[in-house]
Each structure stands twice: as C-alpha cells, then as structure tokens.
Amino acid sequence: MTAITQSISFLYFTDFLIFISVVFWTGNLLNINPELIILFAILYTLFGIYVLYLKSFYSPQKFRFISKDLYSLFEALHLALIIPGIIALIINFSTQTASFIFAATGFSYISLLTWRVGFCFHKKNITKLENICVLGTSQAVEEVKSELSKRPELKLNVVEYKDEVDANGCKMPDIYEKITQKVPVEHITEDWFEENFNTKIKKPFYGFLKRIFDIGAALVILAVTFPIMTIIALSIKLADRGNIFYYQDRVGLNGKVFKMIKLRTMRQNAEKAGMVDKGNLEDDRIIPFCKWVRKARFDEIPQMINILKGDMSIVGPRAEFADFVKVYEKEILFYQRRHWITPGWTGWAQINLGHCVKIEDIKEKLKYDFYYIKHRNIFGDFNILLKAVFMALSGRHG
C-alpha cells in the first residue's frame, strides 16, 4: 500500500514539472513576454492538476491507461485552459498569445500522454510486487484478491490473512477502500457505523458549511441555467400543452417522503399503469427534443428548489422512489443507513455508477454511498459537484 501512495505523489510531482516545463519552453520558443509566461504557467499548472484530479488521474484506477483516457486527458487539458487562456488574452490580446496558448496545450497533451503511457507500462511490466498481509476472514480476503486480480498494475500480492488484529497487517476494509473507493458492505458491522458514521453525521460545523454550500450552489446553478431552462420549459408547454413540471415521491432524510420536482420530459400520463421511468433515452414516451435535455440532466435542475427548501443537498446519496426503498431495505444489508443523511442532487455513487435499477447494482451503489458518508467534507462535495457538471456537459452523467 505504501507503493500506491508513493506512486500517486510521484504523479503529482512529475505532472507539475511537465506543465511548468512545457509552458516555459513554448513561451520562449514563441518569444512571449516573460511575465505573461510566468503567469500562464502558474495558472495553467494549478488548473491542470486540479482538473486531472477531478478526472481521477491521481487514483489507483489510472495506473492502467486505457483508450478512453486519450479523450479524457484531452478534455481535461482544455477545461483547465479556459480561465488561464481568457486571462492571458485579456492581458495581451494578439495572434501570438493565442498561438502560445494552444501550442502549450498541445505540447502538454503530448508530453503528459507519453509520460502516462510510460508510467503505466512500468507499473504493469517492470515494478516488483508488494506483498501484503490482510486482516479479516478468509471470505473477505478472497474479495480483496478478486479486486486485485482485476488491477494487476497495482502490483499488490496477498501472501496471507489473519483473523486477529495485527499491527503488521493491513485491515481488509481499509485496503478495499483504498483500491476501489467504496466500502465492503458485506464485511462491516454495527461497530463500523458507530466509528465511521456517527462522528461525521453529528458535526454541527460541517452541517452549517454544507447548508451554506447547498444554498450558494443551488442559486448559482439556477441563475446560470435560467435562460436555457426558460426555453426548454416553453418548448415542453408547446409540445403537448401539459404541465411543465411533475412531482415524484422520494425518500429523504430519516426516511421521510418528500415531493421531488423535475421538468416533465415524457408525454402526459407516461407513468400510468405502473410505467416508471427507467432512464432509457430511447424510450418512445419521451418528448423527442427532450432526449438531449435528459442526457445533459437539465430535467433535474428544478431540484434546486428542493435543495433550497432543505429536502435535498447538492451532494449525497440518490433519493429513491418510496416503493423501491421498501424492496431495497428488505434485500440489502444496512440499506436504511443511507437515509441518515440528506439525499443529494448528485453524489459519489451517481458519478461512479450512474442510474441503476437492478438489486445487484443498487448494492454496489450502496458501497459508494457509505464511502462518501465516511469521508465527506466540503472540499470533497465541491469536487463531486464539479465532476458531475463535467459529466453532464459531456452527456455521460448517469
């Protein structure tokens, strides 16, 4: 596990050097003013590393470079470019400055891509295995082994397990969380909740900050999206003369049912006779132009009203249908514990698994929900919100 931490720290350091070096080299090559080079280098490096962090490029999952990372890296660098690029052009609006900005971005992409491919090749083919001893039952250890078998690039090898606590061993829940960023629900007890949930839930200062964050973020989202939401609402009204909004019974804090507000993207009476929206964009009940509305999650913007009322938070576990919750609580161990906190507009489970309806998938989402509740903080909430916005704008938010 030490090797994973060291590798992540090394990635931060090398990416920092790449950003700085590329910007200075490009600036000098194009004879850019030194002061502008320094300013752009600082801003682009900070934003670049932060966006790469939001895109999970500093997690163990990225120790294996896959084809979709080619675009993800490209997207990250261009998102990071927006603010530094605008500031640089305000300072010196010229063709030369624009060429410098885009050249620096292009060379950064090539450099980071080359480095990441090389790093992942080294992790997979050259790095030596790190032997670990896992504390837990044989069944729990087998799950850790199974997860590690899916991630050979981590170079972790379980050599033994122990049922008793041993300072020389690594606890099964801890290593599982480090690798997967979720909690092994099947192998936790009531004591785990006392240790990891109650202290988080009962922190009044965090609760105060979170409420301020919720109100502020909701107002900003409503203000930014107001023009396009007005156009969408009028288009829905013209499409079939029905109501613009509709309301669903969802389960909130402590199991209390509330009315969730959404834009109506389906034809009138689409949910009669037990028909429930399953999130299928090809569903013929959907008003044709609303398919892109759902894909970009504009239909969920009215939930900002729920957030201002206190029914929901910006970040938290998904608010599920009341009928579904009754089934999940019978089928899934500890499921009701996710209602100990306010449900969210987005959340750690949503950005990792998206929309799910199968019991097995809901069990998997619960692992992510518990991980969020255990580790949540204001900085983490802000990061999850940005991840969700990036995914929604890319049409990939579940």
Going from N- to C-terminal start, the domains of the chain cover 2-125, 132-179, 204-393
Q: What is the DSSP string of 245-288?
A: EEEEEEE-GGG-EEEEEEE--B-TTTTGGG------TT-TTB-T
Q: pLDDT tens-digit profile of 165-221?
A: 554 557 677 778 887 888 888 878 888 887 777 655 667 788 899 999 999 999 999
> What is the CB neighbour count within 10 angstroms for residue 16?
14
The pLDDT score that the predictor gives to residue 284 is: 64
CA atoms within 13 A on the CB side of 124: 15
* d(C-alpha 17, C-alpha 38), whole Å: 14
Q: How far apart are CA 150 and CA 176, in angstroms?
A: 13
Cβ pair 184, 173 in contact under 8 A? yes
| Helices 204-240 + 378-393 axis angle, to 10 | 20
Distance between CA atoms of residues 297 and 388, nearest Å? 10
Q: Measure the CA–CA gap between 20 and 219, rounded to whole angstroms.
A: 36
As given in the structure block, the two tokens for residue 71 are: 């675009």
Check if the beta carbon of residue 281 is closer than 8 Å to that of residue 295.
yes
Longest dimension (CA), the chain: 69
Q: What is the pLDDT of residue 273?
A: 41
Q: Is 183 exposed, middle or buried (0-12, 13-18, 19+ CB in 10 A)?
A: buried
pLDDT at 238: 81
Dihedral sign of CA atoms 326, 332, 333, 338 in order: negative
DSSP tag of 326: H
Judged by DSSP in three states, 289 sits in coil
Residues whose CB is less than 8 angstroms from the CB of residue 24 and which lie 6 or more positions away in sequence, other chains included: 37, 41
The pLDDT assigned to 107 comes to 95
User: What pLDDT, on the 0 to 100 scale, is given for residue 391?
Assistant: 80
Which stretches in the chain have pLDDT values below 50? Answer: 167, 273-275, 281, 398
**266 has which bridge partners?**
286
pTM of the shown model: 0.80
For residue 274, the model assigns a pLDDT of 46
